[in-house]
Structure 1
Amino acid sequence: MIEVQNVSVHYGQKKVVDNLSFILGDAELLTLVGPTGCGKTTILQALAGLIPISDGTIKLGSHTVTATKTIAPEKRQVGMVFQDFALFPHLTVIENVSFKLKDNAKADYWIELLGLTPWRDVKPANLSGGQKQRVALARTLAHEPAFVLLDEPLSNLDAALKDDLRWEIRQALKEAGVPAIWVTHDQEEALSVGDRIGILKDGKLQQIDTPENCFSKPQSRFVARFLGDASFLPGTLNTSSNIVATALGNAPASPVNDAQGEVDLLLRPDDLSLTLDEAGNGEIIWSRYEGSARLYGVKTDAGATVKIRCSHENIAEPGQRVMMHIITTHPLAVFER
């Protein structure tokens, strides 16, 4: 278990991490996501003992770290997985994974589990990016760390590799049964692999919850926008029924911070339907082809702009009139206007 209480980190006069608190359970995977410069990597460095904290407490098993009491990185039993792999170029896969191990049994176990057996005696220069990252993970887990920190582990890989490898890494971490913190700038990655997700802005944790709750019940407009395409449609909330009335129809509502009266309804692109209709309630202003889908920007007759994602077979052009309806049946977040 990792417990972080009111931790802050300063670089000179600048506060890079501000009053951070969370508890990470045994075998739990937490993803941290946020804009560039929000403090994600600094948090990992502080947990690893690479930089000191300015305030607060970090509890790592039986160890407690404060601003005045630090513990050397090598005594924290931390495993680190980096975006640049950090492999020894002159060593083979088995030599990299078993480096400083007295018994190769653990190295053999992770090499086999991560599908690296055919490359056991191969050096990194002859491996693909995905294979190198598997070797780096195998090396980390073979040393039986108390917790694992992953700093943008997939950012140097081709997009085609990322989807499968993110799940391989997640499954390996679950197999190891260790708590892990995975830092990424990729919102889709953060939502798909984390048991919980933490969203950071300017060094402050804006929200930490399950991916589903952060996406569908964001606690701020910043979180809503950061985790995916977001539109805000004006409406009026009936607090007795928790139904919000809008120009595109009614929808069940989940008020944020006790919002009431005149509100803005959070709509994701899949919450709306769209059909060509000259007598419709909006007009296409832009279109983006995404392969299996098309994303449209549509201006409603009431003046708001919303994003709608449809099948790639649903083709509309800028300037065409369309009819839109809210089709979701689950409660949507509403914010006070």
Structure 2
Amino acid sequence: MLKVSNLSVNYGSTRVVENLDLALADDEVLMLVGPTGCGKTTILQALAGLIPISGGEIQLGAWQSTPGRRVPPEKRNVGMVFQDFALFPHLTVEQNVCFRLTDTSLADHWLKLLGLDDFRHAKPGRLSGGQKQRVALARTLAHEPAFILLDEPLSNLDAALKDSLRWEIRYALKAAGVPAIWVTHDQEEALSVGDRVGILNRGRLEQLDTPEMCFAEPASRFVARFLGEASFLPGRLEGDQVSTALGPAPGIPVDGANGDVDLLLRPDDLSLTPLEAGNGAIDWVRYEGCSRLYAVDIDGGAKLKVRVSHEVRAEPGERVHMAITTTHPLAAFPREG
């Protein structure tokens, strides 16, 4: 089990990672997300031993790294997968995967499992982006690392390829039974692929939980806004019900919320019906193909986002009726201001 305790990293006098605590199960995939500059890549570099840590400790099996007892990268048995693939252009796929291996049986296994058997003798220049990333992953897994760090491995690929390759990578990691920390800017990727998700903000871990809990019960407004579109509707929480301008809704308190609250609403928690005698007016609309995303100014001041079928059409300024349709408890935050 990889265990990180109270980890801090400084760049000069600036602290970029502060008091990070986490532990990974033997085959767990942890996704790390957060805005640019929040410390995601710094954490990977610290875990790999590429930069010194300023506080805390990193432990895996027989080794333990602290500020006073640094374990070099080559002693950590860590595998890394980068966004730029980092392949040797003059070597074939097979030579890249087998680089510095004496026993190539595992290389053969991963080449076949990742669909690369037909490309053994090809040079990286002949491969697509997705094939290159599979080669990089096969090379990492063939060396039997104790844990794997993935730094935005899909960021250089097109959207359609990302969707399929993310699952291939997850399947391979699970098949290897090796813990992995995967850094991404893609919230959808994080929520769909990870066993758990960690949301970073200015070097601190705001929440570490299952994707479902992070999305449905965010620990802070920052997490709520970062993981998908978020709107807040004023209401009053009494027991497990919140009364709002759109009617009652089931609620669950966050951070001790009670009485006057702001109810977190996702676009799929609402319905929209064009109606002259409605309770709001369209501010803007975005066509998304199979759906449309509307921003609606509710009578009383709140602005809510709602996603509906592309067949529902309304123009800016048009009156509509909004309703809360979800039946699961919604996160209720203490009222701001």
TM-score interval (norm. to shorter): over 0.9
Residue 272 (structure 2) aligned to one of 271, 274, 281: 274
The 5 Å alignment of 1:290-305 reads: 290-305=288-303
For the residue of structure 2 that corresponds to 1:308, the secondary structure is strand
- C-alpha separation between the residues in 2 aligned to 1:166 and 1:37? 24
Are 2:276 and 1:317 aligned?
no
* Aligned position for 1:243: 241
| Alignment match, 1:150 | 150
Deviation of 1:288 (Å): 0.3
In the alignment, which residue of structure 2 is the partner of 1:253? 251
Aligned AA (1:247)? A
Which residue of structure 2 lines up, in the alignment, with residue 44 of structure 1?
A: 44
| 3-state SS of 1:264 partner | strand
Partner of 1:124: 124
CA deviation after TM superposition for structure 1 residue 120, in Å? 1.0
Displacement of 1:63 in angstroms is 0.7
Secondary structure class of the residue paired with 1:283: strand
| Residues 23-102 of structure 1 mapped to structure 2, 5 A cutoff | 23-102=23-102
Shift of 1:118: 1.2
Deviation of 1:315 after TM superposition, in Å, equals 1.1
Residue of structure 2 in register with 1:227 after alignment: 227
| Deviation of 1:10 (Å) | 0.2
1:270-324 alpha-carbon deviations (Å, 9 max, x no partner): 0000011001000000000111110000000111000000011111110111011
- Please give the per-residue CA displacement for 1:134-185, whole angstroms capped at 9, x wherever unaligned: 0000000000000000000000111110000000000000000000000011
Report which stretch shifted further, 122-131 or 310-319.
310-319
Question: 1:104, 1:259 → 2: CA distance?
Answer: 58
Amino acid at match of 1:126: R
Structure 1 counterpart SS, 2:52: coil
Match of 1:264 in 2: 262
Match of 1:210 in 2: 210
Aligned AA for 2:311? E
- Asked if residue 328 in structure 1 is aligned to residue 326 in structure 2, the reply is yes
Q: Percent identity?
A: 70
Per-residue CA deviation, residues 56-90 of structure 1 (Å, 9 max, x unaligned), is 01111211110100111011000000000000000
Q: Which runs of 5+ in 2 are unaligned?
A: none
SS in 2 for 1:287: strand
TM-score, normalising length from structure 1? 0.99
Q: Secondary structure at the match of 2:91?
A: coil
Distance in 2 (alpha carbons) for counterparts of 1:285 and 1:303: 12
Count of equivalent residues: 335
What code does the residue aligned with 2:91 have?
Answer: L
- Residue 141 of structure 1 aligns to a residue whose secondary structure is helix
Shift of 1:103: 1.7
Tell me the SS of whatever aligns to 1:314.
coil
Distance in 2 between residues matched to 1:228 and 1:265, nearest whole Å: 15
5+ long unaligned stretches in structure 1: none
Q: What amino acid sits opposite 2:316 in the alignment?
A: P
CA distance in 2, matches of 1:236, 1:98: 62
Please state how far the C-alpha of 1:96 moved relative to its aligned partner. 0.4
SS at match of 2:45: helix
- For 1:181, the equivalent position in structure 2 comes to 181
Output the amino acid matched with 1:274. L
Residues 1:286 and 2:280 aligned together: no
- 1:8 aligns to what? 8
Q: Secondary structure at the match of 1:68?
A: coil
Amino acid in the other structure paired with 1:60 = L
2:181 partner letter: I
Distance 1:62 1:328 in 2: 49
Specify the alignment match of 1:167 in structure 2: 167
TM-score by length of 2: 0.99
Shift of 1:47: 0.3
Paired residue type of 2:114: L
SS of 1:280 mapped into structure 2: coil
Cα distance in 2 between the residues matched to 1:123 and 1:315: 51
The amino acid across from 2:154 in the alignment is L
**CA distance in structure 2 between the aligned counterparts of 1:24 and 1:103, rounded to whole angstroms:** 28
Letter in 2 for 1:285: D
Q: Please provide the CA RMSD for this pair.
A: 0.5
